[in-house]
């Protein structure tokens, strides 16, 4: 009888170290995202602006609509550095407008409106775009008509139509939902209806490729319904292109809302938004250039940060670039 083999594993087959648990996808994305300085800055600024417009009025408690005609045309506090005669006050650090409304409070309130419109319109755009894209990509019968329809909407002149729709429909909506809510619904609605086409095309393309893959076949063989396949298997896979598309949509929506306000067809005149503040400041920009700069900078910086965020997300979510 030979001795039984000693029960020790062979050294050659042993892993040199303990295997790490599998890293999640989002951890990888975050690691790649961290390398993009612009995207980090952009994301940070976006979070800062969002928090500031949401909770800013708890810290800076002046009512943005309060008229204080004695304190009208106060310059921002930093004007005192080079012009000691300027009318400045610590009570209004960013100055007041020609009706004495506090600029800082207006920027906060206006940002809330602009960001609300931007987010709502972006979400609506993504919803419409994803629905149409999924329907067109998944159901062969619907593909032809839906994509023809998308091409048709793409050849509509968007900005003129937006202007037409907003000018012509603001009266009934204002009458039904009140001046501010009616305008909000109208602007979010028209932006959503006119800008879903890119998202729809992206989603359709991805779904067309994904639905031929083996995991969808496996899911179908296991008896999953179409609805289950779409929600459990396909939609999570189109999430990354959708997120990039969503950042672009947010940027476009903020700019479009400001453009409409700037052209004078946006929210009612006593309701501050960034575009409205900019439009109100333009006639008197010779005397008070800072009133143009303030809302303009807010719009531009927000959109810039959203664009950088989208750039970083695109790099981080692309598995071919990730890890390089």
Partner 1 sequence: MLTYTIRRLVLSVPTLLFIALIIFLLLQLAPGDPMAQVPLTVPPEVKQKMREALGLGQPIHVQFWKWLVQMFWIEPQVFIDWLTNKSALFGWLPDTNLYTACGPTVEGPCDLRVISWQTRSPVMDIVVQRLPQTLWVVGMAYVVGILIAIPIGIYSAYRQYSVFDQAGTFITMIGFSIPPFFTGPLLIVIFSVQLGWFPFIYDTTHVVDDWDSFVFQLQQMLMPVMVLALQTTAQISRFMRASMLDNLNQDYVRTARAKGLSEAIVVMIHVLRNSMIPVVTVIALGVPAIFGGAIITEVVFSVNGIGQLLITALFANDLPMVLTITFMFAVLIVLFNLIADILYGLLDPRIRYD
Interface positions with partner 1 (CB under 8 A): 38, 152, 155-161, 163-165, 167-169, 171-172, 251, 255, 258-259, 262-263, 265, 275, 278-279, 281-282, 285-286, 289, 292-293, 296, 299-300, 303-304, 307-308, 311
Closest CA relative to residue 226, chosen from 135, 304, 303, 298: 135
Angle at 172 between CA 169 and CA 178, to 5 degrees: 115
Nearest approach, Cβ of 266 to partner 1 (angstroms)? 12
Nearest approach, Cβ of 169 to partner 1 (angstroms)? 7
Dihedral pair phi/psi, residue 242, rounded to 5°? -65, -40
First to last CA, the chain: 58
Q: Which CB, 182 or 275, lies closer to partner 1?
A: 275
| 245-251-252-254 Cα dihedral, nearest 10 degrees | 140
CA distance 194 to 203: 17
The first and second tokens of residue 64, run together, are: 């943005």
CA distance 280 to 290: 12
Nearest approach, Cβ of 248 to partner 1 (angstroms)? 10
CA distance 48 to 16: 46
Q: Which CB, 130 or 256, lies closer to partner 1?
A: 256
CA distance 150 to 132: 9
Nearest approach, Cβ of 263 to partner 1 (angstroms)? 6
Q: Which CB, 169 or 177, lies closer to partner 1?
A: 169
Q: Which CB, 95 or 138, lies closer to partner 1?
A: 95
Nearest approach, Cβ of 29 to partner 1 (angstroms)? 21
Determine contact, residues 203/242, Cβ cutoff 8 Å.
yes
- Residue keyed to tokens 């927000």: 302
Nearest approach, Cβ of 160 to partner 1 (angstroms)? 5
Q: Which CB, 116 or 165, lies closer to partner 1?
A: 165
Buried b (16+ CB within 10 A) or exposed e, 183-218: bbbbbbbbbbbbbbbbbbbbbbebbeebbeeeebee
- 10 Å CB burial of residue 11 (0-12, 13-18, 19+) is exposed
Nearest approach, Cβ of 155 to partner 1 (angstroms)? 5
Q: Which CB, 125 or 261, lies closer to partner 1?
A: 261
Q: Which CB, 51 or 285, lies closer to partner 1?
A: 285
Nearest approach, Cβ of 94 to partner 1 (angstroms)? 17
Q: Which CB, 184 or 288, lies closer to partner 1?
A: 288
């Amino acid at each position: 009888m030979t001795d039984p083999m000693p029960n020790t594993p062979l050294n050659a087959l042993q892993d040199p170290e303990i295997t790490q648990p599998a890293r999640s996808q989002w951890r990888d994305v975050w690691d790649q995202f961290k390398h993009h300085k612009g995207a980090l800055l952009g994301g940070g600024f976006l979070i800062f602006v969002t928090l500031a417009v949401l909770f800013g009025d708890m810290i800076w408690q002046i009512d943005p609509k309060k008229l204080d005609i004695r304190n009208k045309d106060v310059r921002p506090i930093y004007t005192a550095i080079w012009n000691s005669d300027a009318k400045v006050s610590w009570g209004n650090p960013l100055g007041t407008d020609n009706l004495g409304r506090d600029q800082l409070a207006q920027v906060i309130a206006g940002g809330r409106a602009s960001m609300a419109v931007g987010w709502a319109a972006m979400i609506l755009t993504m919803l419409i775009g994803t629905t149409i894209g999924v329907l067109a990509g998944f159901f062969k019968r619907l593909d032809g008509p839906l994509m023809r329809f998308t091409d048709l909407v793409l050849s509509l002149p968007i900005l003129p139509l937006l202007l037409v729709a907003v000018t012509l429909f603001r009266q009934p909506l204002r009458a039904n939902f009140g001046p501010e809510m009616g305008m909000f619904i109208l602007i979010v609605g028209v932006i959503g209806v006119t800008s879903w086409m890119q998202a729809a095309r992206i989603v359709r393309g991805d779904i067309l490729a994904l639905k031929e893959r083996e995991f969808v076949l496996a899911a179908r063989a296991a008896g999953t319904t179409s609805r289950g396949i779409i929600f459990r298997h396909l939609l999570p896979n189109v999430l990354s292109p959708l997120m990039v598309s969503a950042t672009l949509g947010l940027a476009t929506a903020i700019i479009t809302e400001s453009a409409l306000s700037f052209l004078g067809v946006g929210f009612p005149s006593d309701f501050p938004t960034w575009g409205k503040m900019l439009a109100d400041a333009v006639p008197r920009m010779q005397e008070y250039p800072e009133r143009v700069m303030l809302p303009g900078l807010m719009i531009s910086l927000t959109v810039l940060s959203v664009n950088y965020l989208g750039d970083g997300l695109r790099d981080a979510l692309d598995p071919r670039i990730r890890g390089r």
